Chain A
């Protein structure tokens, strides 16, 4: 596929159960997004299918394991494998998360929260620049979903992301479901977040579903990526597109993965908002 920049359209996350059905049915998709780590092994089955699918669709590489916010050194091995994958499939977008997942050599297989401080901004900026230097490409940074905030945070998430863009030249991937989940859990307004975020830097939108967990104190939203996009998140998407119409959008579904037809229904629904 050509490396034409995505300026809109709706894609879906490529997941193992759908490899064959996408190859066979060739649905009309703007792009496919892969979890980079699942395709590192050039001899694995996932890479075999990716090699075929990348002939038909633009690919976006979405990392979940680089642990950019960790104070451990960046894994040279992980970064080298990511570069191999990027060189191999020439993705239209490369993204990672505003999070950390490892410390003292131990990894937690999760996107853990960070304190939003000047020190974190400086640290994270250096790491983003390291990755962009190695890859020779701009990367996008995605806002996480959060269940807590650090007491020592001194700025809101959107401000940290905007300043990260200014310091590193990275782009942004805005997950509207994550904003909604965090806003409900931590008590801020999505409208303020979206009014303040640097939309000129946003190159991709993620849409996904969440789960409600009821505790004695109240309800908390869990970012499970295991259900359809919720009505409030569709509302955020509609508002976002009214002001920023040309942005690539992804339907993301990672747990309890349904038949491909369900993802395509969500993809069509997103297209209808465009």
Chain B
């Protein structure tokens, strides 16, 4: 056998053992006073616990809502079935929310996955670039009227959106303040997120129409597409969100204006 294959195979076997999969790694290691199984378990614990800790750091409100035991249980399942894909643990957690949504718990606690998704968007927003360049009004004014339908507006990178069919905004606020009261959780909730200069992220509740307009912008829809799909005149929304700095540039056909 090619010797370079040996190292590769050892690592494949080791990795399988860390994930409780079939492996013969124990035949290739010795642990002094301890059995190979015992020392492999130490490495397995380091892997699983450190990744669970990373998830808990990224999803603190989800953790608070479901409790320690439940969170640890689902986090372990997630870690073992979806280990990190990069050597930077800060990147870990993408897809956790949609994975939660597929679990049986979602039938009884559907808001849990939605809150997790909100937390993931919050974390990504906190890491985003902040751009405060003025909107290019002169470029917009210079466009021929025949091209208005082809305009696409873009959100500044420090803004993000999150929407759910459950009341994630009030639930998140209550969890942040540790003050829970009875609310109708089956109310759709839409949120505009904005990174602040102190690296916190502010949440602003949106009406569904505002959310759909901004969502259309993030999806790269033209104004004509948005008007057609939502059945609205988008000009009001354009003015509002340019004024707020949410929309900070536009593109038209092949050209970018910022």
The interface of chain A, by Cβ under 8 A from chain B, is: 37-38, 40-45, 48, 64-67, 70-71, 75, 77-78, 81, 100-110, 112-113, 115, 117, 119-120, 123, 147-152, 185-187, 213, 215, 217-218, 220, 222
Contact = CB atoms under 8 A, between A and B. Distances in A.
Interface of B: 3-4, 6-8, 10-12, 14-15, 18-19, 28-36, 38-40, 42-43, 46-47, 50-51, 54, 83-90, 92, 126-130, 199
Contacts of B85: 105-107
Contact of B129 (A40, A43, A78, A185): A43
Given A45-B126, A117-B3, A213-B42, 14 more contacts: A37-B89, A43-B129, A43-B130, A71-B11, A78-B86, A106-B19, A107-B85, A107-B86, A107-B87, A109-B89, A110-B50, A147-B42, A148-B32, A150-B28
B30 A109 contact: no
Nearest to B84: A107
Contact of B6 (A66, A104, A119): A119
A66 B10 CA distance: 19
A103 B14 contact: yes
Contact of B87 (A78, A103, A104, A117): A78
A148 B46 CA distance: 14
B47 to A, nearest CB: 5
Given A37-B89, A71-B7, A119-B3, A149 B199 contact: no
B14 A218 contact: no
B88 A152 contact: no
B155 to A, nearest CB: 15
Contacts of B28: 115, 150-152
Nearest to B19: A106
A142 B95 CA distance: 34
Contacts of A38: 90
A117 B6 CA distance: 11
A65 B89 contact: yes
Given A65-B89, A150-B10, A150-B28, A119 B4 contact: yes
Nearest to B15: A103
Contacts of A42: 129
A109 B199 contact: no
Given A70-B11, A78-B88, A41 B50 contact: no
A123 B4 contact: yes
A44 B40 CA distance: 35
B87 A66 contact: yes
Contacts of A185: 31-32
Contact of A218 (B30, B33, B88): B33
A187 B30 CA distance: 12
